[in-house]
Amino acid sequence: MSEIRRVVNSAVQSFVLDQLSLLTVLDQLSLLNRKAKRLEANVTRDNDNIVLTLADQEQVTDEYKGIKIWWASKLTTPNKQSITFYPREDEKRHFRLTFHKTYRDIIIDNYLKHVLDEGKSITIKERQRKLFINNKSENWYGYRRSMWSHVVFKHPATFDTLAMDPVKKQEIIDDLMTFSKAKDYYAKVGKAWKRGYLLYGPPGTGKSTMIAAMANLLKYDIYDLELTAVKDNLELRKLLLDTSGKSIVVIEDIDCSLDLTGQREKKKKDEENDPIKDEITKKMEEKKLSEVTLSGLLNFIDGLWSSCGSERIIVFTTNYKDKLDPALIRRGRMDKHIELSYCGFEAFKAFAKKYLNIDSHDLFVDVRKLLEETKMTPADVAENLMPKSDGEDKESCLMRLVKALEEAKEEEKRKAEEEEKRKVEEEEKKEKENGKVIKEVLENGENVVAE
Ligand SMILES: Nc1ncnc2c1ncn2[C@@H]1O[C@H](COP(=O)(O)OP(=O)(O)OP(=O)(O)O)[C@@H](O)[C@H]1O
């Protein structure tokens, strides 16, 4: 018996790995093996995630490319009987990995890397994601500066729930997925691993919803940057340096956040000429204005420090793309421009499926025609389509939408007529004024001749 044990012992190679890295390895491995009944581990709950742990002396078997590997956990407690003046050493935990010695190279070169990589991706998938916002807080010296604070990010929006043209949607998903896997590619071409998205369109067309869907798809954190709360370019740079990788930095309504179109200068000049505003009020208002400039923002996007930390997405949203400085949104800064517009028939069908669980209905024909004739945001379509009580049937939801679309069409028609009338009146007024001027000139001319 002892001979057999000796033979077996010599045939296997054991490795006691560094405690810290192995703790991670094992935590991750235990997650990987959550389906494995043989783990016989203690099961606890951390929020929505199941966490499996390995007790002392417990063993877990893993298989990699047909190779069997045994993991064992061992707890070493310090000898409590000895008397010492020095602080006692804490308990030490280590893990023993056992496998056949022929596989030593594969295990060390490939298997451990595989476990760590898998573990990392599980950790990212399972971790609680955060929504950061910047607000002004006072430090010890009473100096107010913008700092990040966060809440847990739990938004239900996904690309599945986002109603839009499926082809366009798939294109965006592919773009995001390609980006998230392109670490080596970006390194090869010598570019910082970041990508800019400009989402533009009228209010209520799903820009914020898309950002949440992006974060949920990639499992990234969100940094919602309020530019008006940032004192100057220096503070902006500091905030950026405080963000982590695997994140989306969002500046919503970029056209309203800052005067980036040269309007600020004009505003200041107007105020300077205002005699009523006294000097103190002006100074106080000036202090409140953020001094972040267009060049500061451009540097924020693609300056040298923007590459500190990688795998970052920057998203700007705006209702008015044309208002933005072209330098801000040129490709390379905002690599992909995505228009979110009024609800089309494809987006409506997605809502109908989601809210009413139907793919077709007689009223779809009416809805399609009305959507082509009038503009309604996805937010309004969703609101009209959503059942208002438990028992409300699909038909009455669709009827409500049809009615709302008809009303919107009428309203648009009325507004167009009013606009037309206003233009005609303006033309008439101009013509009248021109006629008056001509008459006056003619009369004056006659007078001159008479003199
Ligand atoms: N394409 C869409 N798919 C699903 N829901 C949508 C869509 N567009 C809008 N909604 C719904 O409408 C509401 C408003 O959408 P959201 O805030 O994303 O619009 P927005 O374009 O960001 O508006 P704003 O420009 O005013 O910030 C949300 O509750 C969202 O659920």
Model confidence pLDDT, tens digit, residues 241-271: 888 888 999 999 988 776 654 444 444 445 4
Whether ligand 1 lies within 6 angstroms of the CB of 204 is answered as yes
Whether ligand 1 lies within 6 angstroms of the CB of 318 is answered as no
94-138: per-residue pLDDT in tens? 888 899 989 999 998 999 999 888 888 777 777 778 999 998 776
Whether ligand 1 lies within 6 angstroms of the CB of 208 is answered as yes
Distance in Å, CA 224 to ligand 1 centroid: 17
Q: Which residues contact 199 (CB under 8 A, 6 or more apart)?
A: 207, 210, 211, 315, 316, 317, 318, 338, 340
169-202: per-residue pLDDT in tens? 999 999 999 999 998 898 888 888 889 999 999 9
For the question of an ipTM over 0.85, the answer is yes
Predicted TM-score (pTM) of this structure: 0.69
Nearest to 245 by CA among 204, 285, 186: 186
Whether ligand 1 lies within 6 angstroms of the CB of 382 is answered as yes
Distance in Å, CA 149 to ligand 1 centroid: 25
Whether ligand 1 lies within 6 angstroms of the CB of 290 is answered as no
Over residues 421-425, the mean pLDDT reads 91
Over residues 433-450, the mean pLDDT reads 70
pLDDT of the residue at 50:
60
- For ligand 1, pick from 208, 209, 216, 377 the residue to mutate: most ligand atoms within 8 Å of CB: 209
- Contact status, residue 26 vs residue 71, Cβ threshold 8 Å: yes
Question: Tokens at residue 28, please?
Answer: 């991750």
Distance in Å, CA 344 to ligand 1 centroid: 14
Q: What is the DSSP letter of 324?
A: S
- For ligand 1, pick from 160, 205, 216, 316 the residue to mutate: most ligand atoms within 8 Å of CB: 205
Whether ligand 1 lies within 6 angstroms of the CB of 72 is answered as no
**65: left (phi > 0), else alpha (psi -120 to 50), else beta?**
left
